[in-house]
Amino acid sequence: MFWQTSRRKISLEKTLVFNFKSGDDTHIGVMSGSGGEITQLTFYKGQSWVHSFSPDGDKIVFAGFRNGVWNLYWVSRLTKQQKQLTNYTKLNSYVRYPAWSPVGNQIAFEYAETTGNIWIADLK
């Protein structure tokens, strides 16, 4: 959950962005910082973990878990349109912590693959 002050000229209000559970799925919601109705932005089955706003305040980049694979997506606050930004296919990989560049032409994020972490401890 985080606050964002919109940089758009049409609105200077603060917006609260958060994740919420619906069954086994996690979605992204927004609401005015002064309260009011929640607007649901994601509807796909899976997980949507919000992270940051685009510099213009419209798009929210997030890590999404769809069909067993993590990828980056953005969703528009105004239109609710979504776009997949990466196309990873490995089931043992994940992405997280996406953040827009100040200009809005790049997104930095963490990508990793897990291959198992099994350790043995000697009992003395």
Domain-by-domain residue ranges, the chain? 2-113
| Helix-strand-coil split of the chain, %, nearest 5 | 0, 50, 50
Say how far apart CA 77 and CA 23 lie, in whole Å: 23
Q: What is the pLDDT of residue 13?
A: 63
- φ, ψ at 60 (rounded to 5°): -120, 120
Say how far apart CA 101 and CA 5 lie, in whole Å: 16
Around Cβ 36, how many Cβ atoms within 10 Å?
9
CATH code of 2-113, in short, is 2.120.10.30
Q: What is the pLDDT of residue 67?
A: 92
Say how far apart CA 14 and CA 49 lie, in whole Å: 20
pTM of structure:
0.79
The tokens describing 36, both together, are: 């009011």
Residue type, 29: G
**pLDDT tens per residue across span 98-122:** 998 888 899 999 999 887 666 767 7
